[in-house]
Structure 1
Amino acid sequence: MTEIDIERVYDALATTLDSFTADKRDLFLAKIALLLAHELGDADRICDLIAEAARTSPD
């Protein structure tokens, strides 16, 4: 993906998250993660990415 694509995805995600109340955001994030994982179709890669996201997330 290009930087423009990444920005477009980030904007779509941020805008969508802002449309949910705080108590619904976790459910949305779980749903989008599972949908994207299904599209990727590689459980090992998905688990690696989950671990990477956990390592690089702020405390």
Structure 2
Amino acid sequence: MTGIKFDELEIFYEKLAESIDRVGEKNESLFLARLAMTMANEMSDCKKTLKCIEVAIEDYN
């Protein structure tokens, strides 16, 4: 997978962390699901979105 520049990824990570804090622990899962669906829709590529899921879940099995 190709990616964005490290400094841009860091900006994304900071905004994500701030947003998770803002919605609170109770809404964290719902927020992340909504974010994932929004980003998948923006990508408009089912194969890429499925690959992202596989990459994200790699170390949990």
TM range (shorter): 0.7 to 0.9
Quote how far apart the aligned CAs of 1:29 are: 0.3
Structure 2 unmatched runs, 5+: none
Following TM superposition, by how much is the alpha carbon of 1:4 offset from its aligned partner in structure 2, in angstroms? 1.0
TM-score, scaled to structure 1: 0.87
Choose from 9, 13, 26 the match for 1:6: 9
Equivalence map 1:6-45=2 (5 Å): 6-45=9-48
Of 28, 53, 58 in structure 1, the residue corresponding to residue 56 of structure 2 is 53
1:26-53 deviation per Cα after TM superposition (whole angstroms, max 9, x unaligned): 0000011001000101111111110111
Distance 1:2 1:51 in 2: 21
The runs of 4+ residues in structure 1 deviating greater than 3 Å are none
What count of residue pairs does the alignment treat as equivalent? 58
Residue segments in structure 1 that go unaligned for 5+ positions in a row: none
